[in-house]
Structure 1
Amino acid sequence: MADAAPPPFPASAGILFGLGLGGFFDGIVLHQLLQWHHMLSTWYPIDTIDNLKLNTTWDGIFHSLTYLFIVGGLFISWRAAQRRRWAWSSRRFIGLLLIGWGLFNLVEGTIDHQLLAVHRVNETVPEPQRIYWDIGFLVWGAAMVITGWWITRSEGASDAAIVSGPR
């Protein structure tokens, strides 16, 4: 009697990893390295020490939340690996990471950039150009979701899954 095929890597874990990595990229690259914006920089421009402190605090809160996405992904992965065998697939994992990262961009870009307008993607360019950066961020997110979905759906013979875990 043949064993039933093991379940694939948990989608929720991969998506949480992608959400966390998307948040870390945004916070580290756009907030800290490029300093294009901070969490509340449209509402509280970085023109005083108090506003910088407020924005830095909210950047830290933002990073803490993205860290929790990673912890959640690790917890789900660990629990699933302890309970059953599963099929490890690089294509599925990468696809799920892209879906999560893209969802991060779409949600953050829609809520923070457009609805609440707490900041824009690139506040170092003239005001009329900022919308193009915001649109690019959303297009980038949508492209990641679509590509990730396509990768997870096209999974198959090109990526032999490795089965691991208790039998």
Structure 2
Amino acid sequence: MAQTDTPGEHASVLRLPGIVLGVGLGGFADGILLHQLLQWHHMLTSTDQDRIGVKYYDPDTVPGLRMNTVWDGIFHTVCWLAVLTGLAILYARVTQDRRRVWTSRVLWGWMLVGWGLFNLVEGVLDHHVLGIHHVYAGDGQLWWDLAFLLMGALLVGGALLLQRGGRPLALPAGAPGPDAR
């Protein structure tokens, strides 16, 4: 790429790895904060009210918590694989100025898009369609679930604005690379 390349061309290099990284990191944020630290839910905490007939594992019992912890582990494994995949794609696509990539508004914007997409897809599927868990079960759970979706939409919208402000790197002719800021 010559120095005259457009920011959109550089952004496309970072789009897929950024989104995949964002999905994995957003999943980790959800799992660590909501599943582990706040203990508001685990993967199967609402299966007594789900829409697909999954066996209920009461998280207030040792066997139930054990099974929920296994499914939380499976969820975290998928998040971990998404992060590794995103890093592998990024490493393969960016061959120069890798250090500057991590300060790129474009990369961080696409990562936040990925986090927002994680919230939107996970929120619609797990909370509303399947009903296997809710952000915070009980009175007002619909509002918590809707707030989770709103946060996802805000992340996507804000992230798209952030990545638009990215500037391309000044690259030598023929050198592939992403945006700088």
TM-score, normalised on structure 2? 0.78
Q: Which amino acid aligns with 2:165?
A: S
**Is 2:25–2:115's contact at 8 Å kept on the other side of the alignment?**
yes
TM-score, normalised on structure 1? 0.84
Q: Which residue of 2 aligns with 1:66?
A: 79
What SS is found at the alignment partner of 1:109?
helix
**Is 2:46–2:131's contact at 8 Å kept on the other side of the alignment?**
yes
- Listed as ranges, the matches of 1:6-85 within 5 Å are 7-8=10-11, 9-43=13-47, 44-82=57-95
List alignment gaps of at least 5 residues for structure 1: none
By how many angstroms is 1:85 displaced? Answer: 7.5
Q: Which residue of 2 aligns with 1:151?
A: 162
Which of 82, 85, 108 is the aligned partner of 1:94? 108
User: Matched residues in 2 for 1:111 and 1:147: separation?
Assistant: 23
User: Matched residues in 2 for 1:117 and 1:78: separation?
Assistant: 37
User: Matched residues in 1 for 2:110 and 2:14: separation?
Assistant: 9
Query: CA 1:162–1:15 in structure 2 vs 1: closer, same or farther (change >3 Å)?
Result: farther
Which of 132, 137, 140 is the aligned partner of 2:148? 137
Q: Which residue of 2 aligns with 1:118?
A: 132
CA displacement, residues 65-120 of structure 1 (integer Å, 9 cap, x when unaligned): 011110111110111124x7788462111211110000000000000011111100
List alignment gaps of at least 5 residues for structure 2: 48-56, 176-181
Q: Which residue of 2 aligns with 1:106?
A: 120
Percent of residue pairs bearing the same amino acid type: 42
Which range is displaced more, 85-94 or 113-122? 85-94
CA displacement, residues 8-52 of structure 1 (integer Å, 9 cap, x when unaligned): 442100001110110000001110011000000111231321111
Q: Which residue of 1 aligns with 2:179?
A: none
Query: CA 1:33–1:47 in structure 2 vs 1: closer, same or farther (change >3 Å)?
Result: same
User: Matched residues in 2 for 1:36 and 1:114: separation?
Assistant: 17
By how many angstroms is 1:3 displaced? Answer: 5.3
